[in-house]
Amino acid sequence: MGRFLIATLLASCAMPAFADDVSVAVAANFTEAAEEIATAFNAATGHTARLSFGASGQFYTQITQAAPFEVFLSADDERPALAVEEGFGVEGSVFTYAIGQLVLYSTDAALVTGEETLTAGEFQKLSVADPETAPYGVAAIETMTALGVIEVLRPKFVTGTNISQAYQFVQSNSAEIGFVALSQISQVEGGSRWIVPAELHEPIRQDAVLLKTGEDNPAATAFVNFLKGDQAHAIIEKYGYALNQ
């Protein structure tokens, strides 16, 4: 009985006395990485991260309308800063959790060979995330503009509300080709892809912010701190993101 009691006490000391939940709004491109991070977070702290996925612009609108999110992982660096400026985010809590990479992707192993795939335009449909709500969509537009093909390709656009839908359009063959996040295909074999050079678009700096609604929730602050740690960083890099240096 003595050994059992000691083992029980040691196990209880490894977790917080009271485990809490935290509601996290997560940019769609970060879905798989966030799910793995949430599992690791629960194992390490006992807290549970309840994740919602979608377009950053739509999330920000919901946050301004009193949606009960406590942490916001955006796909850009503008909305977290705006959250603080407009009184929804905690001052000093904004940080870059990942830097995204844009990829031109097709399930057809021979279709994507590089920027010449865009200049040749030998496809019927091109999947792009909505630039009004999705930073990866902005980066796609900037890329095509830099290459001088935006007006020629615009009639071929199939627009997804977020980067997840843009990827689904390619996967379902609703579009032969599309701009997606490297994180979405980092664990996918086959197909063809071109990692868009960083100089063709503004950096996809993805920032997080602790929202005022989560300021007094230990699970929210713990999640933010966990996201800054080595365990989360290893997962983030695994899914094709760079870390802020």
Residues 6+ apart with CB under 8 A from 9: none
Q: How far is CA 219 from CA 23, 54, 76, 216, in A?
A: 9, 22, 24, 9
E strand or H helix that includes residue 15: none
CA angle 97, 36, 13 (to 5 degrees): 95
Provide the 3-class DSSP secondary structure of residue 54: strand
Q: What is the C-alpha to C-alpha distance for residues 78 and 23, in angstroms, rounded to an integer?
A: 21
Pairing of β 157-160 and β 126-129 = parallel
Q: What would the two tokens of residue 174 be?
A: 């609703």
**Percentages helix, strand, coil for the chain, rounded to the nearest 5?**
45, 20, 35
pLDDT, tens digit (0-9, with 9 covering 90-100), for 95-117: 999 999 999 999 999 999 999 99
The residue ranges of the chain whose pLDDT is under 70 are 1-18, 245
pLDDT for the residue numbered 160? 96
Q: What is the pLDDT of residues 229-244, one digit of tens each?
A: 999 999 999 998 999 8
Express each pLDDT in 117-151 by its tens digit.
999 999 999 999 999 988 899 999 999 999 999 99
Residue 158 identity? V
Full strand arrangement of the beta sheet holding 126-129: 157-160, 126-129, 177-181, 102-106, 192-195
Q: Which domains does the chain have, with CATH numbers?
A: 19-99+204-238 (3.40.190.10), 100-200 (3.40.190.10)
Please tell me the predicted confidence (pLDDT) of residue 245: 64
pTM (2 d.p.): 0.77
Sequence letter at residue 8: T
Q: State residue 18's pLDDT score.
A: 64
Check if the beta carbon of residue 14 is closer than 8 Å to that of residue 61. Answer: no
Residue among 104, 65, 59, 103 at smallest CA distance from 78: 59
Q: Which two tokens stand for residue 24?
A: 């996290």
Q: Are strands 126-129 and 95-100 parallel, antiparallel or unpaired?
A: unpaired
pLDDT at 133: 83
Backbone angles phi, psi at 199, to 5 degrees: -75, -10
